[in-house]
Amino acid sequence: MESWMNFILFLAVTGYAVYLIIKVIYHRYTYIKLGKPTILREDVKERMKTFFPQVFGQKKLLKDRKSGIMHVMMFYGFIILQFGALDIIYKGLVGKGLPIPGYAYFLLSQEITVISILIAVVYALYRRYGEKLKRLKRGWKASLVSFFIIFLMGSVLLTLGFERISSGDGPSGFSPVSSLVVYAFDGLSQGLAHSLYLFFWWSHLLVLLSFALYVPQSKHFHLFTAPINIWLRRTDSPGKLRSINLEDEEAESFGVGRIEDFEQKQLLDLYACVECGRCTNVCPASGTGKFLSPMHLMTKLRDHLTEKGASATSNSPWLPSYILPVTGVYSVQASKEQAGIEAAEMIIDIQPTLSRQKETWIITDREIHDINLIGDVITEEEIWSCTSCRNCEDQCPVGNEHVDKIIDLRRYLVLTEGKVPQDAQRAMQNIERQGNPWGISRNDREKWMEALVDMEVPMAADNPEFDMLLFIGTMGSYDNRSMKVTRALIGLLNEAGVKFAVLGNEEKNSGDTPRRLGNEFQFQELCRENIAIFQKYHVKKIVTACPHTFNTFKNEYPEFGLQAEVVHHTQLLAQLIKEGRIQPKYEVNERITYHDSCYLGRYNNVYDEPRDILRAIPGVELVEMERSRENSMCCGAGGGMMWMEEDTGKRVNVARTEQALEVQPDTISSACPYCLTMLSDGTKMKGMDQQIKTRDVAEILWESVHVITSHIK
Amino acid sequence: MSRTALVFTEQKDGRIRNVSLECLTAANHIVDGGEVIAVLYGEKNQAHIDELGKYGADKVIVLNNENLKSYTAMAYKQAMVQVIEHTVPDVILLGHTGNGKDTAPRVAARLGIGLISDCIDVSVEAGELILTRPIYAGKAFEKKRFVKGPAFVTIRSNNIGTNEMIKVPVVQIMDVEIHDLRATLEDVVRNATSGVDLSEAHVVVSGGRGVKSAEGFQCLTELAEVLGGAVGASRGACDAAYCDYSLQIGQTGKVVTPDLYIACGISGAIQHMAGMSQSKVIVAINKDPEAAIFEVADFGIVGDLFEVVPYLTEAFRRMQEVS
C-alpha cells in the first residue's frame, strides 16, 4: 500500500516537473525561432572533427588548466551519476537495485564520483570566492548551482547510507562513504532508518528535479545548448563574414537593428553562454578599460532576447511563475562614473570594464518595445571598440561567435542608419575617393617604386607571363615604414628568382577595412573591381604582406568569383627557404620575439611559418611572449580600429608592447603592417624606440640574405 | 531682373565670420539692383551693423531674442523660417559652416524648398542664377540652377572673397517667436587653444615628438604669433601630453590646408601627412635628414628645431618691423 502511494506521488511530482522543464525549454526554443533562419552546411565529418574533442575532450576548457580539470570532473561525474540517480529512484520504487553486472563495483564508482564532484565544487567555489578570479561573477546567483550540487551529492550519500541501515546490509568496502553513515548512526532502529531513507530519497528526487528545472532558466542551460551549439557551428573559415545580398529590393534594412534580425544559430549562442568570462579575460578592449566585454555582449543580448521573446510569443520564460514573477526589463543605464584605467599598474586589467558592465545593466520599468537593441542593450561605444581579433571566440568553450554579431550591429549603423564615427567615416570616404584611407591621390599608389632604383619590379601589364601576383596593399604602397617591408620582400623574391609582377596603380584597397567597419556595400564594390583586374591578368596565385588582405582574398573573395591561390608572404618565404632558393647566411645576432597577427594566426592558423623563417636565420634567438600563438593579444588595429582613435582607458598597442618588453627583446618582429605600426608606436610611447627595433620578419630575413643594409634603410 | 537676397550671418567670438561677409559679396553680384538684407541674431550691435554695411548690406534685420544669443539648431531654424516667410526673398545665402550645415537642411525641409549646398561660386548667366560646387573631392565642378522656388544656397568659406562697398544699412528690429525648445545652451567650455582657429588658419606651426616637452611648444607658439597663425601637433606629441588633443592634426585629428605649414620635429608618419599634405607650402624642420616629412616638404631645414625656430621667429619679427 505504502509503496503504491509512494509510486503515485512519484509519478505526479516527476510528471509535473518534467512538464515544466519541457515547457521552459520549449519557450526558449520559440524565442530562438524568432530569428532569421540559418543555412547550415551539411558536412557531418567536419562537424564530428570538432564536436568530439571539444565536447568529450573538453579541449577549449582545458585552455585554462585548473578550471578545465574541475570541469572535466563535473562533466564526466554527472554523466556517471545519471546511472546512479536512476538506480536510486528505481530502488525506491521497486525495492531492489538495477540489474547491473558487477553491482558492487557500480556502487563504488558512484561513491567515488560523488566525492570527486564534491571536491570539484569546493574547488570551483574556491576559484570564485577564494582566488577571486576576475573573470568570474560573484554574488548569490553565481553560487546557487554549487549549493544545488552540494545538496544533491549529500542527498545521494545519505539516501545510500540509510538504505544500507534499513535493509540491514551493514557497512561495505565497496560503499566507503555511505558506510560511514552506517557507523555514525549505529544502533538506529530499522523503522526510523527506513523513514530517514524515505526522507532522503524524496529530498534527492526533489533536489534533482528542481535542479533540472533551474538548469534551462539559467546559464546552466549550456548543459543542453553547448553541445548543440558546437555541433551547429559554422564550418567555413572564421575569416569569412556572412555577405549581404545588396540587390535584395525587399530588404527594408541591412545588418542587425533588432534582436530578431540575428540568425537563429546566432541566438542559440546566447543561451549557450555559461558566463565563464574566458572571452572577456582575453579581450583587448576589456583589458584596457573599454566598455566592451564579450561576455556581457552575450548575456545582455540573451536577457534582451528572453524579454523580447516572452513578449512576442506570450510564452513565459520563468517557471513556475508563482515563484518567479517577471519584474521588468533590462537596459543599459548611464553609469555613475565613466570607467577607464588611470595609470594602471598591471599591463591589462578587466576589472573596470566588469564593474561598469555590472553597474549599468539594470532592470527598469520601461516597456520592452521601448528598448532599442542598439543604444539600450548594446551601446555604440561597445560596438566600435571591437578589434575583431577573435581571441574571445578562440577561448569560448561553447563555440560562441562574438565578432560576427558586432559586425552585424555595425552594418546596421553604417548601412541602415548611416551613423558612423567620424574617424571611420573619413577613412571610408577616402577609400571611396582615392582607394586609400588617408586620401592620398590614387595616382600616387605606385610611387613606392621610385625609390627602388636598384631593384627590378616587373609590372603585370608588361610581363603577362608572371607566376605570382605580388599584391602590395595600401599600407605597403603608401606608408613609408611599410614600403621598407615591400622593398625587402621584393629583394627576397628577386633573390629567389620568383617570377612575380605587381599591379601598380591598378591595385585597389582590398576592402577589409570597410567590411570590418560594417560597410558591406563598399567592400563588395572593391572586391568586384579587384577581381576584375585579377581576371584581366589571369592571376593564378597571389602573395601579399598584409594579413588582412590575405584573409579577405583567401576566405571572402572566392564567394565573389576569385579563383586563385592566396598566400601570405611568410608562407611563401618559409617555403622558399625550405626549397633552398633563399639562403639566410649573414648572422643577425638579436633576441627576437614574434607577435602573431590575429588575421594570420587565429583567423588562418599561420603560426609556424613566420617562426620557421626566424629560426632559419643564423644568430637569431627566438623568444616567445607569455601570450603567443592562439592566445596572442591583438595589437589594437584590427576591425578598422587602425583608423579610429582610442580615447577610453589604456591604448591596446601600449599594453601589447609592454607584454613584448617583458621578454626583453632586441627586436619585436611581426608580419603585418598594422601590427608593425602599432608596436612601433608602442615602443615610442614607452620611450624604448631607440633601444628596441620593430621589424617585419621579411626585413630581418632580407638583412640575413643581403647584408648591405643601405637598401633597407 | 532684380532679386532680393537674404543673408543669414554668423558670429564667432563676437565677430562676424568672414564667410558671412563673402555671402554679402556674392549677394551683391547677383541681386541686379535688388535689395541685400543681412540678418543679425541676438541683439543690436552697431559695430556689426556698420561692418555688414561696409561689405554690402542694404538692410539689416536684427532678431532680438534671448534664445538666439547663442546657437542652437531648433531656435535658429525657427527664426530663419519666420524671417524667410516675412521677407519672401528670391535668394537665401548662408555660410557652409558647422551651423550652416546644421540648420539649412532643416529650414529647407520645413519650407519645402530646394537647397544647393557647399557652393564655391554664385553667378548669373543669361539671367539665370548659376551655382558652382565641387564634386569628386574637388576633381570636378558641377553647375546647378534652381527650377523653382527661392534659391537657397550655402557658401564654402574662402572662395568668393569679400568686397568693400560702404553702404549705410537700414536697420529693422524684428521680433521672432521661439518656442518648444527641447534643448538650450547653458555654457560653452572652451578647450585650450587661444588665438587663431586651427582649421581656418592661413599659417600653421606644428610640433611633433621632437619638441620633447610641453615647454618646448613655447617657441612654436611664438613663431605662430608672429606669423598670425595657429599651433598644431602630431598625434605623438599629443600622446606624450606635450599639448592638448584638440591640436592634433592627422588621420584621427584635424585636416588643415593652410597656405603655410611649418612642421617642427615631426617625422612625417602617413597618419600625420593625411591631415596636412594638402597645405600650399610645407616647410619641414627636423634633425633627421632621412625623415619622411622631407619627401612632402617644399622647403626643408635639417637642424635642431630649438635653434631654427627662434631664428625664424626673430627674422619674421624684424621683417614686420621694417614693413
How many whole angstroms separate alpha carbon A233 and alpha carbon A7? 43
Mark residue B161 as left, alpha or beta (left: phi above 0; alpha: psi -120 to 50; beta: remaining): left
Mean pLDDT of A606-625: 97
> Where does the pLDDT of residue A191 fall: very low under 50, low under 70, confident under 90, or very high at 90 and above?
confident
- Please report residues of A whose CB lies closer than 8 A to that of B140: none
Out of A426, A434, A478, name the one closest to residue B270 (CB).
A478
Q: Are A55 and A224 in contact (CB under 8 A)?
A: no
> Where does the pLDDT of residue B227 fall: very low under 50, low under 70, confident under 90, or very high at 90 and above?
very high
Tell me the angle at which helices A294-313 and A403-411 cross, rounded to the nearest 10 degrees: 60
Residue in A closest to B238 by C-alpha: A685
HEC readout, A335-375: CCCCCCCCCCCCCCCCHHHHHHHHHHEEEECCCHHHCCHHH
Look at residues A519, A483, A486, A509 and name the one whose alpha carbon lies nearest to residue A639.
Answer: A519
Q: Does B113 touch chain A (CB under 8 A)?
A: no
Q: Does B123 touch chain A (CB under 8 A)?
A: no
Name the DSSP letter for residue A334. Answer: -
Q: Are A276 and A397 in contact (CB under 8 A)?
A: yes
What is the per-residue pLDDT across B33-90, written as a single tens digit (0 to 9) for each? 899 999 999 888 899 999 999 999 999 999 988 889 889 999 999 999 999 999 999 9
Cα dihedral across residues A224, A409, A137, A57: positive or negative? positive
- Measured between alpha carbons, how far is residue A263 from residues A157, A303, A404, A696 in Å? 45, 17, 11, 40
Whether B239 sits inside 8 A of A685 (CB atoms) is yes
Q: By CB neighbour count within 10 A (0-12 exposed, 13-18 middle, 19+ buried), where does B199 fall?
A: middle
- Please report residues of A whose CB lies closer than 8 A to that of B236: 681, 684
Residue in B closest to A646 by C-alpha: B252
HEC readout, A474-532: HHHHHCHHHHHHHHHHHHHHHHHCCCEEECHHHCCCCCHHHHHCCCHHHHHHHHHHHHH
User: At CB < 8 Å, which residues of chain A contact B?
Assistant: 423, 426-427, 430, 433-434, 437-440, 478-481, 643-645, 647, 681, 684-685, 713
C-alpha cell at B111: 519650407
- Please report residues of A whose CB lies closer than 8 A to that of B270: 438, 440, 478-480
Q: Are B91 and B4 in contact (CB under 8 A)?
A: yes
- Write down the pLDDT at residue A335: 65
Residue A322 has pLDDT above 90, yes or no: no
- Determine which of B270, B288, B296 to mutate to test the interface with A (most A C-beta atoms within 10 Å): B270
Q: Does B209 touch chain A (CB under 8 A)?
A: yes
How far the first Cα of chain A sits from its last, in Å, is: 96
Q: Residue B11 — φ and ψ, nearest 5°?
A: -115, 150
CA angle A487, A491, A492 (to 5 degrees): 120
- Write down the pLDDT at residue B195: 65
Mean pLDDT of A75-101: 90
- Determine which of A384, A642, A645 to mutate to test the interface with B (most B C-beta atoms within 10 Å): A645
Residue A203 has pLDDT above 80, yes or no: yes
List strands edge to edge, sheet with B203-207.
Answer: B230-233, B203-207, B260-264, B281-286, B299-302
Question: Helix, strand, coil % (nearest 5) of chain A?
Answer: 60, 5, 35
* 3 state DSSP class of A588: coil
* Residues 6 or more apart in contact with residue B291 via CB below 8 angstroms: B266, B267, B268, B284
Look at residues B307, B297, B231, B224 and name the one whose alpha carbon lies nearest to residue B267.
Answer: B297
Beta-bridged to residue A695, according to DSSP, are: A669
HEC readout, A213-242: HHHHHCHHHHHHHHHHHHHHCCCCCCCCCC
Q: Does B266 touch chain A (CB under 8 A)?
A: no
- Write down the pLDDT at residue A712: 43
How many whole angstroms separate alpha carbon A627 and alpha carbon A396? 17
Whether B136 sits inside 8 A of A433 (CB atoms) is yes
> Where does the pLDDT of residue A707 fall: very low under 50, low under 70, confident under 90, or very high at 90 and above?
low
CA A40 and chain centroid, separation: 20
Look at residues A565, A578, A633, A567 and name the one whose alpha carbon lies nearest to residue A606.
Answer: A567
Q: Are A298 and A270 in contact (CB under 8 A)?
A: yes
Whether B251 sits inside 8 A of A643 (CB atoms) is yes
How many whole angstroms separate alpha carbon A62 and alpha carbon B291? 49
Q: Does B290 touch chain A (CB under 8 A)?
A: yes
How many whole angstroms separate alpha carbon B323 and alpha carbon B320? 5
How many whole angstroms separate alpha carbon A68 and alpha carbon A58? 8
Cα dihedral across residues B231, B234, B235, B237: positive or negative? negative
Out of B245, B277, B290, name the one closest to residue A440 (CB).
B277
Q: Are A471 and A541 in contact (CB under 8 A)?
A: no
Out of B245, B252, B270, name the one closest to residue A423 (CB).
B252
Name the DSSP letter for residue A35. Answer: S
CA angle B33, B34, B38 (to 5 degrees): 125
- Write down the pLDDT at residue A339: 47
What is the per-residue pLDDT across B139-196, written as a single tens digit (0 to 9) for each? 788 999 999 989 999 999 888 888 888 889 999 999 999 988 888 888 877 665 556 7
Whether B251 sits inside 8 A of A478 (CB atoms) is no
Q: Are A419 and A413 in contact (CB under 8 A)?
A: yes
What is the per-residue pLDDT across A221-276, written as a single tens digit (0 to 9) for each? 999 999 999 999 988 898 999 999 988 888 888 999 999 999 999 999 999 999 99
* Residues 6 or more apart in contact with residue A17 via CB below 8 angstroms: A209, A210, A212, A213
Look at residues B272, B269, B268, B267 and name the one whose alpha carbon lies nearest to residue B250.
Answer: B272
Q: Are B270 and B293 in contact (CB under 8 A)?
A: no
Give the other-Cβ count within 10 Å of B302's Cβ.
14
Q: Are A499 and A466 in contact (CB under 8 A)?
A: yes
